[in-house]
Amino acid sequence: MTSTLFHMRNDLDEVDGMVTSLKAHLEGHLSDDGLFRFEICVAEALTNLVKHAETADLETPIDIAVTVERDTVVVEIFDPVGAVPFDLNANAVELSDVDLMAESGRGLGLILQCADKVHYGDVGGRNRMALEFGKAAA
């Protein structure tokens, strides 16, 4: 098992670069389909955090941990300090329930559909979303 910690400035301009770096880090560990699903999930999760996780401390970077295990890749994304936790179940919307002509509201549905497992909750006093991807097809 190897675990790597990344830090991203709490700024929308930083998301694409971080997503690209994380994807490059996992080349060879996930199949093309797994990398696609990983990229979608991480892009949506980081964008949601920057846009919606209110924090008074915008200077503290967002922590992201990527752990490569024998059969899985797990990415853990920690909410900014002071952000109010959200209720994953209450906010979860299946993509099939999203109006085709809606201009927003697909992010969480994409995460739930593309990740093999999604966990959100308090870990060591910090709110964390953990996304798991199987390596079976790599």
Q: Does 34 bind another protein (CB under 8 A)?
A: no
Among 9, 106, 119, 126, binds another protein (CB under 8 A): 106
Binding residues with another protein: total (CB under 8 A): 24
Q: Does 102 bind another protein (CB under 8 A)?
A: yes
Among the residue ranges 10-18, 65-73, 75-83, 116-124, the one whose residues contact another protein (CB under 8 A): 10-18
Among 2, 13, 90, 137, binds another protein (CB under 8 A): 13
Region label for 42, one of left (φ > 0), alpha (ψ between -120 and 50) or beta (otherwise): alpha
Residues 56, 104, 85, 19: is their CA dihedral positive or negative? Answer: negative
Give the containing element (helix H, strand E) for 15.
helix 15-25
Q: Does 51 bind another protein (CB under 8 A)?
A: yes
Region label for 43, one of left (φ > 0), alpha (ψ between -120 and 50) or beta (otherwise): alpha
